[in-house]
Structure 1
């Protein structure tokens, strides 16, 4: 079995003339969708780690902690950071998670530049003139013999204050670094929030920090929250150092970063010149693409304001707290119109007139009354943005869009026809393929279509919960001494609860086994009866439930849409698979699809 060799990465950069095929482990990686089939990663040899970019020419399979044998590679230096460019190789086997911190090659060679022997202006390994920018400064830069020149790019042209030494990009931050500084813009600042529970009470606030390499969330608690709250201002740029880097709590952040910053009493923050630091990074999606986008996906959109609704107060289902909401609608050149929900202060103070171009970052997709968007708390709305695509869109609207008719964005039709469409058949994955792709392991949700056979369901375990019967409320109710069921949120008692599914089944295909969870809508479709009927069958003392499962549910193939996401249970991370929609297979359509596939293959 192939294994890592400590010191391999150091030798690659110290003795490039002796470089041969070598092994590395992928500690972390993410897909750069905007650059095509590119992956950005951290590669390790068990001792050292270095930033890596895996090119579209790579033919192996990528998974977190995979051991790769690299056969074609190159070097690059950008903004003072070293990069290993992996062009091709093979996936050897899965490795174990590292048990100790890795040493950073970039940091080492910054302090010992005389040991770095790679000539970035004359390398035999790759033509870097065609290397994508990756959202960074794509110009070729090498680490010089002057250690100060190896610092992260400071576009102000002036050196940072002495206490903010070792200036690096946000994407290079990790818990394994002891000395670092960043220069970043505050793209979002939360309100000061207070909490109170059995362990005490406190307060916190957070900011999202942005530079040309990425974004990261920073949070301060209690006394530190009071110390830093008035220092940070939205859209201002700051130097920051001496803070803790921790694993990101994905349930509280929408940023694409595995880490976050916790400000403490040692943290130092100074305002900086704002030149060269981007204000907002957008990845716009056209409105016509929203109808094929999964719920809860976070997207950026660019549109022209078409209408503005009134601000109104609504009550949150989860907390019972009142919030201000205002709905606006935007259009674009694809001929579609979409409603966007604004919240809080922005909803109250929104004053822009129709025909104004809006760039909106951080909208969550949902399908309430058709596809809609809702601006998340850390999102941004910029009117009349200074962007080429915004000027183009405004010109289109003034010339023809203002008199055009638009279609509402609606979700693609579900059910049997959709999941058995030709497009879905071409995209189906087996269980082993889903697991091999590391679905959900990078902290991001992933969606797949698969065909499986349910084989096991335990009716002895919890598969439903007693819910509130009020319209729009599905909170769990508690049985009182008098036999009634009470919803604390609605302050209402019910003689009977509304039973709702929260079930789990085991399913298989020819390649493996998977556990699938489902909620009420999917449960009613899967089991063919309501959760209350299931509960009545289980409590009847007969074989009715067993007979129903055997005859109508288990060992019957289904096609389903599955969402993979990371879940933490008792401190252990695991991937959770949830059933989003399901349908019976259309075997006639499958036969036609297979015949067409064989014909194209010349068989």
Structure 2
């Protein structure tokens, strides 16, 4: 006889029924748990993503859909990944602010698909014994129902923020560093991405750090180069020890500055070399070339995509990291072109696209006709690493002024 997490014990001859779900709130879900720990949760549905196919172990195709819920305990919404049969549960749109219960979910940090790329988020994932309860009952369900009915405007705002964020991922709108630094964990969600145009300081070849690390998670390892090992950080059994690079620098525009760290391919793009070339000892000629590049980054602005780390959805801590860069090789060397006009940027960031005026739509918005393929235009000097979004031509009206 074997017992699993589906097993329910009940006294012989007892007339009592098996107990129902023991619902947690979003804030009380442990952020670190055992691999076999499961939790029941109840929440208000804000958004339901389209079903997509994911390749799993042994090349098996699995279907998954993201369900975003919220409650009174946390500013951050929570993503529930419903796999395979449960991915089709919400074929029809649920009622406005519908409260739904979920049972037997496991804690995970997973990639949420956003139109053309993935964002690492903390969330919950379904298990074999998972159930969706469309009409949950009990004290916690009644309490959440009362809260949702009296906070309709708050729920509308959270829903709009999710839809607005996903729609704006199709566009590359520049903002200013001051706006980025004004954001807090209470008004930012994990999926938000922004672009800034800035100059770089302390971005020289000599400032980089090089080490041997895991090719999956970039964590440092004592293994020899190209050795295959099981990484104690990401737990990948066939990780390969590869040269890794890190470079911390300051990006600034006319409004403020922010410290960022670039890794591997981004650094290679900065200096126009491969990771292996930058890891190897540099010749005198190479060092002179790198110094010229570092100087150009101080006077030629580049576009940088920023996003938050997984700590935002996991522990409510907001920290911005570099996601990708766009370097315009033919940008004017005039240092007067350094940052977007503040009033234009704020208005573009705070405006809501016409498609989002009806924020009651819970399903994923239709993708735009813009292409998301990674392409290289042989007639253009602008390059993206990675090319996750289509580059809009630089607007000359957004003149940049060097920060004093």
TM-score by length of structure 2 reads 0.44
- Tell me which structure has the larger Cα radius of gyration: 1
Higher strand share: 1
TM-score normalized with structure 1 length: 0.32
